[in-house]
Chains A and B, each alone.
Chain A
Amino acid sequence: MRITQGCFSFLPDLTEIQITRQIQYCLDQGWAVNIEYTDDPHPRNTFWEMWGHPMFDIRDAKAIMGELNECRKMHEECYIRLSAFDASHTWESLRISFIVQRPSHEPGFMLVRQETEGRNLRYETRAYVMEKPQGSRYAKP
């Protein structure tokens, strides 16, 4: 199941050139770009691991693409997203976030029905990969 979130989530995965141009847009606005990765695909997992620090004072997208490629090399089978932080007064928050890498195989989620008092049901979505410990969830096929 192809997981989507953030900007451009209804579009096909962005190409390298498209990613570069989106980054350049962020930099031109004066935002600091961050790289984050995770192997926990649950939509409520909002805190991803950061790759390095937020990248302030960078002018060209190529520098960030370099970092992104480093991150890809280290975390081949992970989700990676880019986000851009606007430090200007009254914003002081993320302005954009989009996925730039996904694992080659995404097994998706199972639906768990828990029977509770009476005939009530509680639903839970649980990613199949979550049975394995962190770091081995999306092993290379």
Chain B
Amino acid sequence: MSAVMEEFPKTIDDIDFREEFAKVGIGEILDELDRDLVGLKPVKTRIREISSLLLVEQIRQRLGFTTEAPTLHMSFTGNPGTGKTTVALRMAKILRQLGFVRQGQLISVTRDDLVGQYIGHTAPKTKEILKKAIGGVLFIDEAYYLYRPDNERDYGQEAIEILLQVMENQREDLVVILAGYADRMDKFFTLNPGFRSRIAHHIDFPDYNDSELFSIGETMLERQNYRLSPSAREAMTGYIVRRREQPHFSNARSIRNALDRARLRQANRLVAQQNPVRPEMLMIIEAEDILASRVFQDRGGMDSLDNLASDFEGKS
């Protein structure tokens, strides 16, 4: 211990981490993350850990202990609608505050944005996206679609090679976040060991439980100046339980879509009303708006809206 201390002249001040933390302003972002996002305990803990690591790294760079840019590429795994994109946006902010990316924009892409249609189309397309992402974070959703093992002439391989090269050589210019289902990502990493070794942080997003989904729904409605009537609250609780059993369940996204449809039904109900309504009725979602959903009917009479929407949810 004392040997270590002697190496440094006393002129270098002690490091006050509280002050450092306040100076970069990530404390507020982390608090915001805790406040705005329901649940996701393990994710929040990981983000805090990574932030601390980055802060220490930043100070070490300033003191000249390290000169190399750290590897910051990450992978976010989890089911759809568990908040991967939202957290990626916050991550971009944190990285920007700590000075690990210069601008802090988040460019969200999928295979279609990177891979071309014919020979010679992929490289310019990928480079175009990379140019936009420089200085920020490149978020590749469902990254495993980049690699199609069944087709060895697939152009995705070309995009992968360019990405790997940039991830290695331009570490100080951009951070790549790969996202997708956990099992498929695992397979993708086994088939592409180059990616695994270049990714420093793996974060797993757990599914929300029913009460978390409920409070997510409430927050969403609150933001749009709606609220649930007491009977609608009950209906919503029932809806969440039933919706989970249905195919294409995608956590918070399903809830958002369900609420969008409930708003639609509410509007329909209000417009069809014969008598004048109180203005506050425009804010209240009633139980019938939710109970009209397909999930409450045992087969047969399907709500066409619900049907259509769940088809889409499964895809994104």
A-to-B contact residues, CB < 8 Å: 55, 57-63, 66-67
Q: Is residue B136 within 8 Å, beta carbon to beta carbon, of the partner chain?
A: yes
Could you pull out 29 A-B pairs where Cβ atoms are within 8 angstroms?
Answer: A55-B131, A57-B132, A58-B131, A58-B132, A58-B134, A59-B103, A59-B105, A59-B132, A59-B134, A59-B135, A60-B102, A60-B103, A60-B134, A60-B135, A60-B136, A60-B173, A61-B135, A62-B102, A62-B134, A62-B135, A62-B173, A63-B130, A63-B131, A63-B132, A63-B134, A63-B135, A66-B131, A66-B134, A67-B131
B-to-A contact residues, CB < 8 Å: 102-103, 105, 130-132, 134-136, 173
| B105 contact set on A, CB distance < 8 A | 59
| B103 contact set on A, CB distance < 8 A | 59-60
Shortest distance between the CB of B175 and any CB in chain A (Å): 12
| B132 contact set on A, CB distance < 8 A | 57-59, 63
Q: Complex Cα distance A60/B173, Å?
A: 9
Q: Complex Cα distance A58/B107, Å?
A: 11
Shortest distance between the CB of B23 and any CB in chain A (Å): 23
| A67 contact set on B, CB distance < 8 A | 131
Shortest distance between the CB of B174 and any CB in chain A (Å): 8
| B136 contact set on A, CB distance < 8 A | 59-60
Interface centre among A60, A62, A63, A66 (most CB of B within 10 A): A60
Pairs of residues from A and B, 4 with the lowest C-beta to C-beta distance, nearest first: A60-B135, A63-B131, A63-B134, A59-B103
Q: Complex Cα distance A97/B135, Å?
A: 23
Q: Complex Cα distance A57/B132, Å?
A: 6
| B130 contact set on A, CB distance < 8 A | 63
Q: Complex Cα distance A63/B103, Å?
A: 12
Q: Complex Cα distance A61/B103, Å?
A: 10
| A55 contact set on B, CB distance < 8 A | 131
Q: Complex Cα distance A10/B102, Å?
A: 31
Interface centre among A55, A58, A59, A66 (most CB of B within 10 A): A59
Q: Complex Cα distance A61/B136, Å?
A: 12
| A60 contact set on B, CB distance < 8 A | 102-103, 134-136, 173
Shortest distance between the CB of A33 and any CB in chain B (Å): 11
| B134 contact set on A, CB distance < 8 A | 58-60, 62-63, 66
| A57 contact set on B, CB distance < 8 A | 132
| B131 contact set on A, CB distance < 8 A | 55, 58, 63, 66-67
Q: Complex Cα distance A55/B105, Å?
A: 16
Interface centre among B102, B103, B105, B173 (most CB of A within 10 A): B103
Shortest distance between the CB of A34 and any CB in chain B (Å): 14
Q: Complex Cα distance A105/B132, Å?
A: 35
| B135 contact set on A, CB distance < 8 A | 59-63
Shortest distance between the CB of A22 and any CB in chain B (Å): 16
Q: Complex Cα distance A57/B134, Å?
A: 11
In the complex formed, the residue of A with least CB distance to B130 is A63
Q: What 14 new A-B contacts, CB under 8 Å, besides A57-B132, A60-B135?
A: A55-B131, A58-B134, A59-B105, A59-B132, A59-B135, A59-B136, A60-B102, A60-B134, A62-B102, A62-B134, A62-B135, A62-B173, A63-B131, A63-B134
Q: Complex Cα distance A55/B173, Å?
A: 18
Q: Complex Cα distance A67/B132, Å?
A: 12
Q: Complex Cα distance A55/B129, Å?
A: 12
In the complex formed, the residue of A with least CB distance to B105 is A59
Q: Complex Cα distance A77/B199, Å?
A: 41
Q: Complex Cα distance A57/B136, Å?
A: 12
Q: Complex Cα distance A67/B127, Å?
A: 10
Shortest distance between the CB of B72 and any CB in chain A (Å): 16
Shortest distance between the CB of A20 and any CB in chain B (Å): 11
Q: Complex Cα distance A139/B173, Å?
A: 35
| A62 contact set on B, CB distance < 8 A | 102, 134-135, 173
